Structure 1
Amino acid sequence: MMGKRQAVLLALSLFLPLLSAFKNTNGTNGSWVLWECHHPFSDPSEAKESRIYWQGIEPSKVLHFCKEGEENLDHQDESFKNRTKIFPNQIPSGNLSLAIKLDLEHDNNSVEVVISSKDTKKICQTTLNVAVSFQKPTVEMNQTDMTVTCSTKGGYPVPEVKWTSWDRESGLERTLEEDEIWNNITKEKKLYNIVSKANATGSKKMTCTVYNPTSNEILIGSIDIPAQGTDNHNGLGVGGIVGIVLGVVLVGVLAFVLYKCCRQRCQQGPAHQYIAAFRRQATTE
């Protein structure tokens, strides 16, 4: 009769490969990630007698190789040179995990562990997904057509971009629908640049969220929206500018009126009357 320990090991040997097949291994370009893989050997001697391959499925490539407890990297694929590590002392206990320093070239590589001894087992199938961080988004306002633009570049893969708007009247937040957003995506040297535009009419604040689905990185940019019909360059609206212009004109008119009044009064003063009388006398004589 099978003992409890043997039953657990058998269940693990059947269940873990299935579980691993549905698990992706995600990481950021240039960083180390751990591709976890565990296989219960019947005894330590089985591990030492086995040839263990960490390899690509399609296309076939060798990531790492261990034969009878010794590493052999003679046939390692060039893209993984100096980028992989195993745990030799833990292999007899079933730890076949592989540490990988990811490169963008590794993205979407399907890989597996193959154990070859008396029979061949393929376990721990996974897919490597590599991300590159985007730059912090730049958010700018165009008051002519009341649109807001969110720009970011240099990332991978294509990000998910969402806009949220705070309504000016109600103050409530809502997420914009896809038909309210215009996205322009370009690719340069394997990396993506994106410019997203949305209508800001009626909004008090707009926020752009850039989400990287591989690294789960979230970048946020936002901007306060001035009321429609205002100019936010110097903190003055159109009404404020008009008021300043009218004030300057009014001051000019007032100054002109004061000048005329002052001149008229001067002409009616004693000195002016004396000169006028003298002129009349001279004319009479």
Structure 2
Amino acid sequence: MENFLFLTNISLFSVLAPILGQRPQLLHVAVGGSVLIPCSLPGYPHNLKWFYWQEDEYLVFHWDGGKTIPVQNNKYKDRYQVFNSEFSSGNISIRLDNISPEDDQKTFFAYVKFYDEQKKVFKHPEEWCRSMLQVSAPYQDLVLTVNHTTNSATCSARGGYPAAQVSWKGLNRSSDEELDLQDAETFLQPGPTEKTFSFTSSVNITGLKSVTCVVYNPHSNKTITRTEKIDTEEGEQKYLLPIKIIAPVVIIALIAILCVVLQKSIFTGPQDQRKDEEGARESTQPSVPGSPVF
């Protein structure tokens, strides 16, 4: 019966705590790291009778009268650490290890019961140290490329959490005014196993002398950027490159053809010239009337 009442109090308080207006402390933590959920209790005349740590409806750790009570089916087994030697001084903080994106927005709190030495009575159990985890992972391998053929820039990165907020800035070529580019297309791709994100974002760069990709992580409040200059001469060179390659080939081919023609005219020229002269003499000889024609 006592265990039933204990569990009933746990469930009831879990439901009432948000209603009573208890605002959790926000704890920022990186994926793969550890986080200390701090909790310091008052000392004399209040002696600690028992307490437990809980995440939403899941028990994490239970201590009662100087003994650790095993928690069945504990999904946080091997992921937490408490500091037993400091319980007597009121430090019941708990450390959570191996943080993953799945821990994001989870709320932890301690539920505590004291014995009042002066009044010789047990106090009503109450909640302490409600905290919420805000998990983040930095985006990696940020790459920005400029495509002069399509007049566009593309920015990409991977392995971040949560979903990135991607924006673009550009420097106007004629006025040097910094512009917020609004026509970007951004695609987010969740990771298959790590539950992190990758993204690809593209924007038009017509009329710009430089372009900047801005990646903001809303949980860590960190921003990373990458900037590329837009060299119009480089674009023109890319357009002219095929011409520069083809033109010498055409010139060489024309020279070869000319050489063949000249060579042929050198070897065949005198013979053709003699034939032309003989034909000319025959055409100019006068014909004698009555002469037989052979």
Question: TM class, shorter-chain normalised?
Answer: 0.5 to 0.7
For residues 164 and 76 of structure 1, the distance between their equivalents in structure 2, rounded to whole angstroms, comes to 54
Does structure 1 retain, via aligned residues, the 8 Å contact 2:101–2:196?
Answer: no
In structure 2, what is the equivalent of residue 108 of structure 1? Answer: 105
In structure 2, what is the equivalent of residue 139 of structure 1? Answer: 144
The residue type equivalent to 1:121 in the other structure is E
| CA positional deviation for 1:228 | 7.8
Does structure 2 retain, via aligned residues, the 8 Å contact 1:164–1:207?
Answer: yes
Does structure 1 retain, via aligned residues, the 8 Å contact 2:80–2:96?
Answer: yes
| CA positional deviation for 1:216 | 3.5
In structure 1, what is the equivalent of residue 44 of structure 2? Answer: 42
After superposition, the Cα gap between the structure-2 partners of 1:145 and 1:254, relative to the gap in structure 1 and judged at 3 Å, is same
- Match for residue 63 of structure 1 among 51, 56, 60: 60
For residues 85-107 of structure 1, the C-alpha deviation after alignment (integer angstroms, 9 at most, x for no partner) is 22333333332322111233322
| CA positional deviation for 1:181 | 1.7
- Match for residue 199 of structure 1 among 191, 204, 222: 204
Give the TM-score taking structure 2 as reference length: 0.66
- Match for residue 74 of structure 2 among 59, 74, 78: 78
In structure 2, what is the equivalent of residue 268 of structure 1? Answer: none
After superposition, the Cα gap between the structure-2 partners of 1:78 and 1:141, relative to the gap in structure 1 and judged at 3 Å, is farther
Does structure 1 retain, via aligned residues, the 8 Å contact 2:108–2:130?
Answer: yes
In structure 1, what is the equivalent of residue 184 of structure 2? Answer: 181
Does structure 1 retain, via aligned residues, the 8 Å contact 2:59–2:74?
Answer: no
The residue type equivalent to 2:63 in the other structure is C
After superposition, the Cα gap between the structure-2 partners of 1:92 and 1:182, relative to the gap in structure 1 and judged at 3 Å, is same
The residue type equivalent to 2:90 in the other structure is G
Q: How many residues align?
A: 246
Give the TM-score taking structure 1 as reference length: 0.68
The residue type equivalent to 2:189 in the other structure is T
For residues 41 and 180 of structure 2, the distance between their equivalents in structure 1, rounded to whole angstroms, comes to 46
Task: Give structure 2 stretches of 5+ with no counterpart.
Answer: 1-19, 115-121, 282-294
Does residue 161 of the first structure (1) align with residue 157 of the second (2)? no
Identity %: 24
After superposition, the Cα gap between the structure-2 partners of 1:143 and 1:22, relative to the gap in structure 1 and judged at 3 Å, is same
After superposition, the Cα gap between the structure-2 partners of 1:76 and 1:155, relative to the gap in structure 1 and judged at 3 Å, is farther
Does structure 2 retain, via aligned residues, the 8 Å contact 1:63–1:77?
Answer: no
Secondary structure of residue in 1 paired with 2:127: strand
For residues 180 and 38 of structure 1, the distance between their equivalents in structure 2, rounded to whole angstroms, comes to 51
For residues 109 and 149 of structure 2, the distance between their equivalents in structure 1, rounded to whole angstroms, comes to 56
Task: Give structure 1 stretches of 5+ with no counterpart.
Answer: 1-17, 265-271
For residues 48-93 of structure 1, the C-alpha deviation after alignment (integer angstroms, 9 at most, x for no partner) is x42111112xx41112222234434x10663311111223333333
